[in-house]
Amino acid sequence: MNEALIASLARAVDLTPDDLELRMHLAQLLHGANRQAEALTHLNAVIQNDPGNTAALGLLGQVTAALVGGSAPGTQRKPETETAAAPAATTAQAQEYDWSAAAAQFDNSVAAPFVEQHIDITEESGELEPPLEPAGEPVTLADVGGLQAVKDRLNESFLAPMRNAAIAKAFGKSLRGGLLLYGPPGCGKTFVARAVAGELQANFMAVTMTDILDSHVGGTEKNLKALFDKARENAPTVLFLDEVDALGLRRGSLTGSASWLRQMVNQLLLEMDSISANNDGLYVLAATNHPWDLDEALLRPGRLDRAVLVTPPDAAARESILHHHLERRPIAGIDLKWIMSQTDGFSGADLEHLCTTAAEKAMMLSIERNEVLPVDMGHIRQALSEVKPSTLPWLESARNVVRFGNENGRYDDLADYLRSRKMI
């Protein structure tokens, strides 16, 4: 499958979100590339705007069958979500590069890994920039570099009331409902959710549509209930609904062969109401790139009634992310401050891709010369000419939502962010 074509179509769809034919083409390509969850998101958008679109409904059946492993109707599938102590590192730490050996190999001519080794101190609090997450230890908001506005909003709307329930109730602050994280793809919503679990000293249980979807009638609702019950049994638990727009589709758009998905949405609403009545130790967080595609009932008070915009990484966050992805590679003379200044609008995933691309440039040159050459600023500049920020199309489409769909003030934080970037 031509990934470049998919990426190009995705950018075109972000710029013209109402072009249903273009969305259908992209959904077909994503289905062919076995990227079913992404295909489902675009099919949902098509069906919402054109409920009678037979091509979209037909493809929806193929995508949902692929999501459940291609099982025939009538077969059962059990969810495989695991509940883990909040949260542990999933990969082993890479070994540090042996710079003493490198210096000997390069006749002591290797420059320092970074132009300036330092520890940042924030002006507001005077606190040291937090270290990277050690293996086996919980992630907390201290491990999230930068994004202070996001942390403050999380603390005010969710964490502080949960930690101080008696005081919150005295001020009429409801502890019911859940929290919705939204923003461009690749900006760390899942990592922020894990950090919230760490702050609450709770287990972390991540759920996607593939964990609950079942081709057997009633099986999807049964799986969804079982996951919520499992989360309650393991309380305190942060139950994280990733790509919740695939779970909380607008029910008005689900007609014809897709009408069975209405019951999945109804069951999700029922479980949300259940936790509002008895939410002892169960915290529901959800993430989406497209909150405007969610069923309105899911956003009512007592459900996902609080929303936090997870923005692209700010300057401090970009420096932290770049340092993390470069420090375990053979590098020389890397000017983090300069790279940070050139990557405004990059997502965390974009920054990782930038570092990987630069490393590939150095690797290919090393293979050509038959010696290990470190990643330097030349390789970084080459990578910057190829890797572009992926968040801009999302911000462009979000601008239309702020202009024409924010009558209730739901996206005021998004409007403020776009103003700060002079986009509205």
Q: Which CATH number fits domain 99-127+314-388: 3.40.50.300, 1.10.8.60, 1.20.1260.10, 3.40.30.10?
A: 1.10.8.60
Does pLDDT of 91 surpass 70?
Answer: no
Q: Which of these ranges, 52-66, 87-101, 326-340, has the smallest mean pLDDT?
A: 87-101
CA separation (Å) from 130 to 121, 146, 250, 366? 10, 10, 41, 34
Q: What is residue 182's predicted lDDT score, i.e. its pLDDT?
A: 93
* DSSP label of 240: E
Q: Is residue 209 very low, low, confident or very high in pLDDT (cuts 50, 70, 90)? A: confident
The three-state secondary structure class of 187 is: coil
- What are the structure tokens assigned to 247, written together? 């779970």
More confident residue, 50 or 95: 50
Does pLDDT of 264 surpass 50?
Answer: yes
Q: Is residue 378 very low, low, confident or very high in pLDDT (cuts 50, 70, 90)? A: very high
The residue type of 341 is: S
A 10 A CB-CB count for 89 gives 14
Does pLDDT of 88 surpass 80?
Answer: no
CA 249 to chain centre: 18
A 10 A CB-CB count for 127 gives 10
Largest CA distance in the chain: 72
Instruction: Write the DSSP string, 197-232.
Output: HHHTT-EEEEE-HHHH--SSTTHHHHHHHHHHHHHH
What is the rounded CA–CA span in Å between residue 405 and residue 412? 11
Total-model pTM = 0.66
Does pLDDT of 373 surpass 60?
Answer: yes
**Could you tell me the residue ranges of all domains in the chain?**
3-67, 99-127+314-388, 141-311
> To the nearest whole number, what is the mean pLDDT of the chain?
76
Length of the chain: 424
Nearest to 354 by CA among 383, 381, 332: 383
Q: Is residue 63 very low, low, confident or very high in pLDDT (cuts 50, 70, 90)? A: confident
What is the rounded CA–CA span in Å between residue 270 and residue 97? 52
Architecture category of domain 141-311 in CATH: 3-Layer(aba) Sandwich (3.40)
8 A C-beta contact, residue 348 and residue 147: no
Range 146-153 average pLDDT:
82
Q: Is residue 105 very low, low, confident or very high in pLDDT (cuts 50, 70, 90)? A: very low
Q: What is residue 48's predicted lDDT score, i.e. its pLDDT?
A: 66
Question: 239 - beta bridge partners?
Answer: 205, 284
Q: Which CATH number fits domain 3-67: 1.10.1840.10, 3.30.70.20, 1.25.40.10, 3.30.379.10?
A: 1.25.40.10
Range 192-202 average pLDDT:
85
What is the rounded CA–CA span in Å between residue 384 and residue 387? 5
Q: What is residue 89's predicted lDDT score, i.e. its pLDDT?
A: 34
More confident residue, 121 or 421: 421
Range 389-418 average pLDDT:
89
Q: What is residue 2's predicted lDDT score, i.e. its pLDDT?
A: 65
The three-state secondary structure class of 101 is: helix
Q: Which of these ranges, 196-205, 211-220, 226-235, 246-255, has the smallest mean pLDDT?
A: 246-255
